[in-house]
Amino acid sequence: MLGEKMEENKCEACGMGFRTHDKLMAHNRVAHVAGQEFKCKACGAGFGSQKELMDHNKKEHRM
């Protein structure tokens, strides 16, 4: 088939395209773990935004 569309399985978080839905799901699991792409380096907790992570750092680790 000509011109397989990579866009059909597009990651909503980072815009990467995948050929199959399975690949997209695997990427999601590794790269974005259910909307927790901002990880605390100190304790490993995940957050959905940089701000949440900063707030966490301030409260939990006094950084």
**6, 14, 25, 26: residue in contact with Zn ion (rule CB under 5 A):** 14
1 or 12, CB closer to Zn ion? 12
Site string for Zn ion, 15-44 (x = CB under 5 A): -x--------------x--------x-xx-
Which one, of 55, 57, 39, 2, lies nearest residue 47 by Cα? 39
45 or 54, CB closer to Zn ion? 45
CA 36 to chain CA centroid, Å, is: 6
Q: Whole-angstrom Cα distance, residue 16 to residue 44? A: 25
